[in-house]
Amino acid sequence: MGSFIAGNLGLAKTYWIFGVISSVILRFIMTFIIMSGINPIIAIVMGFAYSIIVWIAIWNSATNYDGLKLWAILAKISVVFGILGSLAQFNQ
């Protein structure tokens, strides 16, 4: 996990597998938890904790990225939008 958070798995893998695909799967799980009548705070905390770890990993992967800098910049912008989107949900 240390290698993941440090951004050593590569930007594409970190962004697409952990940032996109895993997040979609996690949202399905969270929706199931909420719809099954279990306390929704469990799903919210689980999703937010996962998001924080993935945001850090994506940011660090983008910083370590040696390819086209545009991809690193876009990845960091997506992290900022992800954080802002999460904060906006708490503001409702």
Query: 27 φ, ψ to 5°?
Result: -65, -40
pLDDT in tens, 46-66: 888 999 999 999 999 999 999
| Residue of 14 and 38 predicted with greater confidence | 14
* Cα Rg, the chain, nearest whole Å: 14
Would you place residue 34 in the very low, low, confident or very high pLDDT band (cuts 50, 70, 90)?
Answer: confident
In 3D, which of 21, 3, 19 has the Cα closest to residue 82?
19
Q: What is the pLDDT of residue 44?
A: 82
What is the pTM (predicted TM-score) of this model?
0.88
pLDDT of residue 59: 97
